[in-house]
Amino acid sequence: MKMIKFYSSRNLRIVKGEGQYVWDDKGSKYLDLHAGHGVAFLGHNNKTVVEYLERQMSQIMTLTTAFDTPIREEMLRELDKVKTGDLDNVFLLNSGTEAVELALKTARKITGRKKVIAFKNSFHGRTFGSLAVTWNKKYREPFEPLPGPVEFLEFNNVEELKKIDESTGAVIVEPVQGEGGVIPATEEFMKELRRVTQEKGVLLIVDEVQAGFGRTGKVWAHQHFGITPDIMTAGKAIGGGFPVSATFMPDWIAEKLEEGDHGTTYGGNPMAAAAVTASVKVLLENNVPQQAWEKGQMFMRMLKESLSEFKSVREVRGLGLMIGVDLRLNPGKAIKVMQDNGVLSIKAGVTTIRFLAPFMINREDMEWTLNALRKGITETEGKISSS
């Protein structure tokens, strides 16, 4: 039996993880700024998360949300501590794309309007609904026609928001575009987007699957802009490494959903509830958002200073510990050289190296990254010069 390969192999056999580090089968240690596409933000093998999962595993692993269970009740109490605005209702799923699917279905039912607006360079998932609102044609075109209609507007362009009208059912936006190149929204853009959607009776879906749960220096990235969405999706870091996602909404939306409008075999299972419960505890007890903000500021400052001499570096940008180094060349070679020097990272957009560091990253790790990145850029520039 062989695995279907939707991702290019990194030719690295990882056997262990602890905190911000992983080890391969030869015993070599790596700083993991890939973190499973950002899932391991609370660190690999987080002790609190593991303890909750082990305890729950010994009690009951499988139970649908048709039945009550103590761990889910505990999870809801913990989530209350990190809720945003009036988003008092949650439904658990398994992956970010599933959370987006529920958000899109809910918007259509509530408004009765089919049109959705998304933004250029957006990424919301690979299932049919979420793929329809994902910008990259490479992902979309092989599977068209997709659900719609969908219109893509320019991200961070306030003038473009005038195109939102009463025919639109929902607007979906990332507060920081991750896959699109680590591009933070501006406060002006997000505030105007919230104003226009409220004025036109359009539901605002904020996709926090990658940016949310402390990574940007707030529990939820949209809190940087002083707004509250109508629907919010979350995933990746929210489970501390366990596969789980969530869709949040207020009472006035949730009460209009009916039995059978959505469902999931595994969503909200006891193990997922245990993981989310533990993750919220870790987030709050370790003041993770504040750590992410302070360390992110330090990391970006160090990157800007260290890379200022390279003409191929276009920009260092990000929010908290969600950071991108945008190059004037293909970053693939640099990412490979960094891996050879013990630092794992991931590509974003066409030209950006993305760092999704676990919150416990330290200054020594950052210096390790700078050395590896400088080597990567130097070798990439040299390869281009000699070709």
Question: Which residues carry a binding-site annotation for substrate?
Answer: 126, 264
For the chain, the straight-line distance linking the first and the last C-alpha, in angstroms and rounded, comes to 40
* Encoded tokens for 356: 């999704």
Distance of CA 248 to the CA centre of its chain: 15
Residue ranges for the binding site? Answer: 96-97, 123, 126, 207-210, 264-265
Report the amino acid identity of residue 333. K
How would you list the strands of the sheet with 168-173, edge to edge? 89-93, 245-249, 231-234, 203-208, 168-173, 115-119, 150-153
What does the buried/exposed string (b/e) look like for 302-328 if buried means 16 or more CB atoms within 10 Å of the residue's CB?
bbeebbeebebbebbbbbbbbbbbbbe
Phi, psi of 84 (to 5 degrees): -120, 135
E-strand ranges in the chain read 14-18, 21-24, 29-32, 89-93, 115-119, 150-153, 168-173, 176-177, 183-184, 203-208, 231-234, 245-249, 313-319, 322-327, 343-344, 346-348, 352-356
Residue ranges for the binding site for pyridoxal 5'-phosphate? Answer: 96-97, 123, 207-210, 265
